[in-house]
Amino acid sequence: MLNQGSQLKQGSAIDRYFKISERGSNYSREIRGGFATFFAMSYIVVLNPLILSGTDSSGNSLGFTAVAATTAFVAGILTILMGAWAKHPFAVATGLGVNAFVAVTVASHPGLTWPDMMGLVVLSGLTMLILVLTGFRTAVFKAVPESLKTAIVVGIGLFIALIGLVNAGFVRRIPDAAGTTVPLGLGVDGKLLGWPTLVFVVGLILTIALVVRKVRGAILIGIVASTALAAILEFTLHIGPSFDGKNVNPRGWSLVAPKFSEWGAPTCP
């Protein structure tokens, strides 16, 4: 009976449409993977508006809420299309690279406004679409050496890791005369301080231990446990953000303060 029920489940319309069994997967694995992917990628909803928070040549800004909502909306639509139409279990969202290039390099060009820069992004997307449809992008991708492909992936991974280290308080910017974003130093005056750093260490060790022991949903468990610990610490100790618009708190939360009000969304510094 169990085998028969399993076969019926595998032969369902959903299973046939998404080819879940054909790919050697099952419903529970897909659900766990979806949750883990969501929590691992959701940082971009906050990080993207932070990167694009600067002003243009006219002194105008895009607005944190508008950019965050747009980032979430686009990611949701594209991910649904990737699954429902392309039938691939891939999540699609804003990538780190173009946004930083626009905010740092393009925005520094005199005379350019945010509408101008967003127009350039649209043209870039249309150009990429043409390259994909004509097959030229695939040809270029195959022509790139494997070592360069690996280097690109490693570079993006290190960039994301650096963001995590900064948010955890492991790495902080050392002010310099030129006012650049470098150099970076360890913690506060060479010391690791603050509860956010402890949450990072606990979450990292827990996740590594679960992965080594091959626990299902290890990454998801680590993320949820770290988030719960951060929320409890903020609720009991009132740590606060690292910068609230007026005061600097070197031991505070760097990116998002896990402060909940009537089960609402986390407040951003």
Q: Three-state SS for 242?
A: coil
257 forms beta bridges with 267
Per-domain boundaries in the chain: 19-114
pLDDT of residue 6: 45
Answer whether 61's CB lies under 8 Å from 53's CB: yes
Cα–Cα distance between 44 and 261 in angstroms, integer?
Answer: 22
Query: What's the whole-model pTM score?
Result: 0.65
Per-residue pLDDT of the chain (269 residues; tens, 9 = 90+): 444 444 445 568 888 888 888 888 888 888 888 888 888 888 888 888 888 887 887 788 888 888 999 999 999 999 999 999 988 888 998 877 788 888 878 877 888 888 888 898 899 889 989 998 998 888 988 888 999 989 988 988 888 888 788 878 888 777 665 566 667 777 777 778 788 888 889 999 999 999 999 888 888 899 889 988 988 888 888 887 776 667 777 777 776 666 555 444 445 44
CA distances from 84 to 1, 16, 30, 79, 254 (A): 32, 13, 14, 8, 37
pLDDT of residue 212: 94
pLDDT of residue 177: 58
